[in-house]
């Protein structure tokens, strides 16, 4: 059990690094207290718990043993704060099942053995979590749907919206990108074609790569091709 916890910390560290690297303003950040001696501070993915790695400065290479100690310290601290926590209950159930199966193995075959679940924090979500995620995803798709059908939201100047040629985003083929787009003489992504349409038939200004409208349009277009096999390069 300590091994998964160790990798958990690494994930936490990687995530916090990457969010800094991309500088996304809307992503939540973990603010860690500074160490008085300038030692490395490592945070847990709960965004609150942290430990000071004594004698290790930021950027120093760590041995696996040192990493393990930090991970154990973080887990210990988290468990102390959450004495009632049962997040790894599934593992215990699974282990119990496994023991049960082992006992039964000697006797003749009963009902087919059910494989025990692997368990981890990442997989520890329930139907409510899934409903929230689905709704969030749908929200982005719906926003794309709205923009796709609205010449003004597209920034168009000739009252042409995407749906006029592409009802339900048909004939957009998101699954075929990247592909060599003969008419523009280079390899294009779906977003290049979205922007081409915005500039030409729609007579608007192309969206920047990080424009939320472009993200929403991509989400809507892809959502309309659910189940179609990826087939990049297809003409």
Partner 1 sequence: MTRHHKSIETRHYEERASFFGDLERLSNMSRRGFLEIAGLSAGIAAAKGLVTPVGFQLIDMAQAAESNRPGFSFAYISDAHLYKKELNDRFVRSILKAVDDVNALDPQPDFVLFGGDLAQLGQKEELDLGAQILKSVKAPVKMMVGEHDWFLDMGEHWRGLFGAPQYSFDHKGVHFVTLMSVNEKDFWTAHGMTPAQRMQTVAGLDNGTQSRFEVGPEGREWLKNDLAKLDKATPVVVFSHSPLYKYYKNWNFWTDDADEVQAILSRFDTLTVIHGHTHQMLTNRIGNIHFHGLLSTAWPWPYAPTGLPSLTVQMNRADPFNAFDGCGDGQVSVLMSGMVDKLYNLWNRDPVTIKASYLSSYGFKDRPPAAKLASY
Binding site for partner 1 (CB under 8 A): 149, 158-160, 163-168, 170-171, 173, 183, 196-197, 200-201, 235
Rounded to a whole number of angstroms, the minimum distance from the CB of residue 204 to partner 1 is 13
Q: How far is Cα 186 from Cα 177, in angstroms, rounded to an integer?
A: 12
User: What's the CA angle centered on 168, arms 212 and 166, to 5 degrees?
Assistant: 85
* Residues 221-233: b if buried by 16+ CB within 10 A, e if exposed: bbbbbeeeeeeee
Nearer residue to partner 1 within complex by CB, 30 or 149: 149
Rounded to a whole number of angstroms, the minimum distance from the CB of residue 234 to partner 1 is 8
Nearer residue to partner 1 within complex by CB, 63 or 171: 171
Rounded to a whole number of angstroms, the minimum distance from the CB of residue 185 to partner 1 is 11
Q: Which residue has the tokens 């004594």?
A: 54
223 CB-near residues (< 8 Å, 6+ apart) = 141, 144
Judge whether 50 and 33 are in contact, CB under 8 Å: yes
Rounded to a whole number of angstroms, the minimum distance from the CB of residue 190 to partner 1 is 13
Task: Count Cβ atoms within 10 A of the Cβ of residue 64 and give its class: 0-12 exposed, 13-18 middle, 19 or more buried.
Answer: exposed
Nearer residue to partner 1 within complex by CB, 42 or 202: 202
Nearer residue to partner 1 within complex by CB, 115 or 164: 164
Rounded to a whole number of angstroms, the minimum distance from the CB of residue 192 to partner 1 is 13
Helices (H), 82-211: 89-105, 127-148, 190-199
Nearer residue to partner 1 within complex by CB, 17 or 165: 165
């Amino acid at each position: 059990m300590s091994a998964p916890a160790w990798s958990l910390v690494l994930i936490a560290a990687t995530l916090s690094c990457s969010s800094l690297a991309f500088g996304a303003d809307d992503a939540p950040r973990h603010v860690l207290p500074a160490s008085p001696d300038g030692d490395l501070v490592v945070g847990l993915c709960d965004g609150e718990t942290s430990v000071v790695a004594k004698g290790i400065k930021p950027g120093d290479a760590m041995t696996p043993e040192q990493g393990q100690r930090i991970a154990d310290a973080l887990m210990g601290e988290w468990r102390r704060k959450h004495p009632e926590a049962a997040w790894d209950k599934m593992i215990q159930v699974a282990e119990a099942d496994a023991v049960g199966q082992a006992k039964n193995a000697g006797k003749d075959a009963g009902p087919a053995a059910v494989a025990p679940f692997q368990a981890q924090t990442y997989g520890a979500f329930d139907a409510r979590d899934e409903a929230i995620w689905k709704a969030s995803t749908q929200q982005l798709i719906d926003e794309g749907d709205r923009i796709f059908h609205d010449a003004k939201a597209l920034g168009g100047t000739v009252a042409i919206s995407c749906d006029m040629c592409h009802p339900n985003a048909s004939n957009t083929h998101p699954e075929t990108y990247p592909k060599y787009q003969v008419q523009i003489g280079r390899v294009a992504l779906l977003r290049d074609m979205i922007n081409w349409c915005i500039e030409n038939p729609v007579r608007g200004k192309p969206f920047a790569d990080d424009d939320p409208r472009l993200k929403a349009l991509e989400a809507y277009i892809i959502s309309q091709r659910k189940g179609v096999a990826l087939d990049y390069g297809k003409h």
